[in-house]
Structure 1
C-alpha cells in the first residue's frame, strides 16, 4: 500500500477549476493521482522501530509535563520559600526536589537541628560530608533571608510538596523510558545506536531518540529525502528576474527537527575536547557570515549532520573525524 502526506494528496487532487468534495470524488481522485504519479509503495519497518517511536513520543509528553510541574513549583515557592531556588546553580535535579519536599517552608529549616540536617543531606545521592556541610550552611542562611507570605500549615506548602514529588516521579519515568528505548535499540540486528553515539556531542539519550524519530534510515534512497521527512528542505521562489530561496518547509517530523537542531549545539560544545567536522563548519560560518542569523547556519549544519548520520548507518561504521574531514575535502573538490 501507499502512504501519502495529506497535504501532498490535497495539492495533487486539486486539478480542475471547480472543487466538489464528496467521498466518491475523493476516492476517484486518490486512485487517479496514484495512476498519474506512481507514488512508491510504503516500506514497512520492523515493530521495534514503531515501539521506539511510541516511547520517544511518550518521553516528549513527560518532558512537557515536567516543564509544567517545575513552573508550578516555582510559582508555589514564591509564597513559602523563594530563596531555596538559589541553593544550587540551577533549581532542578533530584537532590534539589528532595530537599524541597522535606523543607517546603523556610520555618521548617529554622526549626531543624543542624546536625540532623547535615546527616539527612548526606543520605542524598552524591553528597559527602563537606558538601553536606556547605549545603546546610547555605540552606540555613537562605531560610533566615526568606520572608514567607504564608504559614507552615497553608495549602501553598502542600502545593510545593506535590509539585516537587511530581517532578521527581516524572524524572524517574523519563529515565525508565530511556532505559527501555536503549534496550530495544540494542536488540536491533545492526549497530545503529553505537554508530550514532560515536558522533561527538551525541549522548545516549540524544542518539536513541534520534534513532526512534528517524526510524530505519535504510528505507531512504538519499539524505535529501530525510531532509524532506523532517521538514528542513528549503523552498524556492522564481519569477522573471527574481530568484530567491524561501525558509524551510516545516512539513515534516517536528520532533526530529527539534532534536537535530539541539544536537548542533551539543556537537559545538563537545568540539572543545572532541573535534567534529560539523562543529568546524558551524563555527566557520558564524565567523565568516556576520549578517546571516545563527538559526540559518544551524539549519545548514543539520544538513551536514543528516548526511553524516546517513553515511554511518548505511556503511555501518562509527564516526571518525579524520575520515569525515577527508571525505569533506574530496566532496568539495568534486
Structure 2
C-alpha cells in the first residue's frame, strides 16, 4: 500500500490529507510548532515508507522541510509555479483542505521524484548570501541618502577624495558634517584628525594633503542649514550606517568563503579564469548542490536561461530566455562572463572565444544577448567540471568545443 501525505503549508498552520492508494483515509490540521510536528511524526510512523508532498511557501515551509530531513522522511517540494500548473485542472474550490488533498492525489498520477537531501552547508550559504544581498541593497540606499543630506550641509566634501566612498571618507563625514565644524580647527589639528580618521593607514603625508584640501573646501562651502539642525545629525547617522554595513558585508563574505572551502566545487569554480573567490561563493550559494540536477538543461531552467520559443502561423518570434528561475544566479553568471572577457588577454577561456566570435559575426550591438548565450556555455562547463570533479583546462575545453 502506497501512502502519501499532502500538506498545504501556511504561516502558522498546515492542512494535511492522507491518501492510501488514491483513497483519502484521514484529514487533520496542525500548528507549525514542535507539538504539531510531533503529531505529524506520529501519523507518519503509522505507515510504511510514507511520502510527503507540499508546496514551497518561502520561509514558512522551511521548518517543515527541515523536520522531514531530520526524521529521514521522503518528500517532494513543489515550486509555486509547478504546483499551480499541476493543480489548476483539479480543484474547483480552492481551500487549504482541497489543496492538501490534490497535492497528495496528483502524486499517484505524476509519481514526482523525491527531493534529494543537500548538505546543510548549502542551506546556510544561501541564507548568508541572501543576507548579503540585503546588505548591498541597504548600502546603496544609505549612500543615496547620505548624498542627499550632504547637499544641504556640506556638498563640497564629496570632492575630498577621488571617490566619495570608503571608511576613511565616511569617518571624515561623521567628524565634519558641516563646514563650520572644519573651520574650528587649524591645519595641524585637522592633520591629526585626518590621520586618526584613516585608522593610521593613510600616512602622515597623505593625511596632511587631505586636511589642507578639507580646509579649503570648507572655506568656499555654503550650508543651507544651521549647525544645530537635525539634518546635521542625519549626516552623521547615514555615514555611521555605511561604516557598519561595510564592516558587516566584509564579515559575511569572509564567512561565505570559509563555508564554501569545505565543498569540493569551490576549487573547481575558482579554477575558471574570471571567477574569483567572491563569485565562486555566490554561485555555490545560489545554485546549491549542482549534482542534484540530472543534466545541464535542468540547471539552465533552474537559473532561468532556458529558451522559450513562440511560433504562430507565419510568425516566428526570436527565442528569449524564460527568466523564471533564480535572478541572483543569472546576475552573478552575467558578471562572471564579463569578467572572463576582461581577463581573457592573460587568462583565455573557450567562453571568451565564443563571445568574441559572436561579436565579430554580429552586425548589431547585441552585447547582452551574446553574453546570455555565453552564460549557457559557462553553465554547461561548470556542470561538467563539478560532476567530474575536475578543474578548468583551456586546452581541453577548446578541443572539446571543436
Q: If the length of structure 2 is used for normalisation, what is the TM-score? A: 0.75
Answering whether residue 250 of structure 2 is matched by residue 154 of structure 1, we say: no
Equivalent residue runs for 1:224-243 within 5 Å: 224-243=297-316
Classify 1:270/1:151 alpha carbon distance in 2 versus 1 (closer, same or farther; 3 Å).
farther
Query: Does the Cα contact within 8 Å between 1:199 and 1:319 map onto a contact in 2?
Result: yes
Distance 2:162 2:350 in 1: 32
Aligned residue among 132, 154, 157 for 2:207: 132
Report Cα offsets for 1:67-86 as digits up to 9, x if no partner: 11111111110111111112
Answering whether residue 139 of structure 2 is matched by residue 66 of structure 1, we say: yes
Residue of structure 1 equivalent to 2:373? 300
Distance 2:193 2:390 in 1: 48
Q: If the length of structure 1 is used for normalisation, what is the TM-score? A: 0.89
Q: Post-superposition shift, 1:59?
A: 0.8
Equivalent residue runs for 1:188-227 within 5 Å: 188=263, 190=264, 192-227=265-300
Answering whether residue 279 of structure 2 is matched by residue 166 of structure 1, we say: no
Q: Post-superposition shift, 1:203?
A: 2.7
Query: Does the Cα contact within 8 Å between 1:264 and 1:302 map onto a contact in 2?
Result: yes
Q: 4+ residue stretches of structure 1 with deviation over 6 A?
A: none
Q: Matched residue pairs, number?
A: 326
Equivalent residue runs for 1:176-195 within 5 Å: 176-188=251-263, 190=264, 192-195=265-268
Q: Post-superposition shift, 1:246?
A: 4.0
Q: Post-superposition shift, 1:11?
A: 1.4
Secondary structure in structure 1 of the residue aligned to 2:117: coil
Classify 1:324/1:107 alpha carbon distance in 2 versus 1 (closer, same or farther; 3 Å).
farther
Aligned residue among 61, 76, 91 for 2:164: 91
Instruction: Structure 1: state its 5+ residue gaps.
Output: 330-334
Distance 2:372 2:260 in 1: 27
Instruction: Structure 2: state its 5+ residue gaps.
Output: 1-74
Query: What do you get for the CA RMSD once the two structures are aligned?
Result: 2.2
Q: Which has the higher helix share?
A: 1
Answering whether residue 320 of structure 2 is matched by residue 247 of structure 1, we say: yes
Q: Post-superposition shift, 1:316?
A: 2.1
